[in-house]
Amino acid sequence: MDGGGRSAGQIARTRARGIGRMLREGHRAFNYALAGRLAPHGISLGEWLHLRTLWEEDGLTQVDLAGRIGIEKASSTPVLDSLESQALIRRVRSKTDRRKSHVFLTRAGKALKATLVPHAVAVNVLARRGLSARELAAFIRVLETMVKNLRRYPARAG
């Protein structure tokens, strides 16, 4: 048994599955749960990511918004088109650089925060179920370290 009460067999099965695979499974499960709670409000997961980022900082350029989410600008365009058609955002051309568009929440887009954020909180609570505060803190530290490690040493070809 390890310090977490896991048997050698459990540890071996986890190692055999791989960290990347485990993270993907967790990511998919989390996204599935959140998407299910957003869908009744007519919001996709991609739209949620854009709205959440704009709730943190409204008026970002489309390029900066995509970068903060971690996607390409081209992937962001159809999501922004959808949010614009729902009157949740508006895009405004930069006065100083016509190549840039700034993305602003509309009144309806700002108001949607009060409806949607509690669903994200509920999914976080569900995901944390059965974890002590100490286990959760350790988990977050481990993930932060992994992310830092991987960003520090980018993949090399060949």
Distance CA(126)–CA(123), nearest Å, equals 5
Intervals of the chain under pLDDT 50: 1-3
Distance CA(147)–CA(139), nearest Å, equals 12
* pLDDT of the residue at 151: 87
Which ranges of 70-132 does DSSP label H, i.e. alpha helix?
Answer: 73-85, 107-128
* pLDDT of the residue at 52: 98
Work out the angle at residue 112's Cα, subtended by the Cα atoms of residues 107 and 114, and round it to the nearest 5 degrees: 115
Q: pLDDT tens, 99-117?
A: 899 999 999 999 999 999 9
Closest CA to 90 of 73, 106, 113: 106
C-beta of residue 106 within 8 angstroms of C-beta of residue 92: no
User: What does pTM read for this prediction?
Assistant: 0.82
Question: How far does the chain reach from its first CA to its final CA, in angstroms?
Answer: 39
Distance CA(86)–CA(89), nearest Å, equals 8
β-pairing, 101-105 vs 89-93, is: antiparallel
Domains of the chain, earliest start first: 8-143 (1.10.10.10)
List C-alpha distances in Å: 51 to 85, 91, 106.
14, 13, 11
* pLDDT of the residue at 9: 66
Count of H-run helices and E-run strands, the chain: 7, 2
Which tokens hold the place of 11? 């540890």
